[in-house]
Amino acid sequence: MNKNDVVKIMEVVISNPFFRDFVIKKSDNSIFYKDDYGFRKVHFWYYNSYDLERDALALEVQPNFDVRFNVLHKWFEKYSKRTLRDQRDDYSLGFTGGMLGTLDEFYFLENRKDYNKDLKRLCENVVNNSKRVFTNFQTLEDYYNYCINDVILGKRELPDEGFEWVTEYLIATKIVKPSSYDLVKTIILQRVEWMKGRKNPNIELYYNDIPTILDDLENTNFSAEKHGKILL
């Protein structure tokens, strides 16, 4: 089994009415919906693998569920050390099946035994997880409450890798709840210093630019940016 089989799987998944406005992107092994505000994407990672339960060679498929709010990313393009393509493909929130309390991977046997049964199970999982993620994260308010407000309330820890989440969190706070900006900034910068002490490579890459980045961010009026609800 190979990439063509993954495309066929995506074609079956996207036939569900929930995905009526989604399109298949073969080059990315994904189905996605995009508008002026961002995108919703199901990415199908796949590998040649082995199904231990059935003791057989298999194609392993791992669906991931991604949400992007453009306003959180586009501003940072001028500072990003990545390619523009990578920057514009980035997502704001990403979930695996395991993170949602469901299966992470699905197996399709090389001999195609139980294929329809396996396909049905994957499709049901993808539809259910997509409904959960894409309906719960349609606005910046949803993003703020999940990523940032829960940090303030002590329900969630800040990321311990990467850098771009720093500006994404600050932009979201500036737009959704500007009265909390100073508090969120203080919490984030404490985390940055902790990561710097651990020699996190992404933090070290941007560390000297942080004062300039924050000054620019704080003097940018994001109210003029498009950050409405991503409709499905």
Note whether 111 and 188 are same-domain residues. no
The three-state secondary structure class of 220 is coil
**51 φ/ψ angles, rounded to the nearest 5 degrees:** -90, 105
**173 φ/ψ angles, rounded to the nearest 5 degrees:** -65, -40
Note whether 109 and 157 are same-domain residues. no
The H-or-E segment that residue 49 falls in is: strand 38-51
Considering the chain, what percentage of its residues have pLDDT values greater than 70?
96
177-215 confidence digits (pLDDT tens): 999 999 999 999 999 999 999 999 999 999 999 999 999
Query: What's the domain range around 194?
Result: 140-224
Domain assignment present for 196: yes
Domain assignment present for 231: no
7-21 confidence digits (pLDDT tens): 999 999 999 999 999
* pLDDT exceeds cutoff 70 at 124: yes
Note whether 81 and 36 are same-domain residues. yes
Residues 6+ away with beta carbon under 8 Å from 168: 72, 73, 76, 92
Domain assignment present for 229: no
Note whether 92 and 150 are same-domain residues. no
Note whether 187 and 76 are same-domain residues. no
- Quote the number of domains for the chain: 2
Note whether 132 and 157 are same-domain residues. no
pLDDT at residue 232 in the model: 47
User: Across all residues in the chain, what is the average pLDDT?
Assistant: 94
Domain assignment present for 232: no
